[in-house]
Amino acid sequence: MADPLRQGCRSGAFRDEFTACLTCVLPVAAGPAHRAQSKPKKAKNKMSMNRFGTEITTDDILEALAFFDSWEDRYKYIIDLGKELPPMDAGLKSEDHLVRGCQSQVWLVEHKEGEQYFFEADSDAFIVKGLLGVVLAAYNGKTADEIRQFNIDAYFEQLNLLKHLSPTRGNGLQAMVKRIQALAA
């Protein structure tokens, strides 16, 4: 007999009952909200291949994290989000792209296509890579006006995220946000 949770995932990317299907974004056990697999959009370049902000939205992350009962499971989900970030070329991991104020090393590169900003990001810490995914869901593929107008503090409050991060991780998260906002200014 097939596992009913596994059957709910039409993409085949399901891992276990505690891990969201990252192809479909939402936790598999969420039922009807779970998405059918869609063909990925063709990207113009490596940065626009980043699914955060386009296919994985802030609403998706809010809904997925609301599904989990414990912060341990939410942390696992956030770490899995980080695994969805496209790998960054080693040549881009330079002092110029390093985000100051983070406990871990974080690199952020922006590229503008028309009016939209796309970001490539990486970190040497798994949880920070996941937090980058949370932030990029808000900003990637957006215009400068959309970046300026997005209420990141309200988003973090809805996620209840800052209460569950160490002060140094919280400061690093804010440093990532400030860097993106400065790049789009």
User: Catalytic amino acids?
Assistant: 102
Tokens of 25: 């974004």
Helix (H) or strand (E) holding 170: helix 167-183
Query: How many Cα atoms sit within 13 Å of 171 on the Cβ side?
Result: 8
3-state helix, strand, coil in the chain (%, to 5): 50, 10, 40
Sheet holding 142-143, edge to edge: 106-113, 116-123, 142-143
**Residue 38 burial by Cβ neighbours in a 10 Å radius (0-12, 13-18, 19+):** exposed
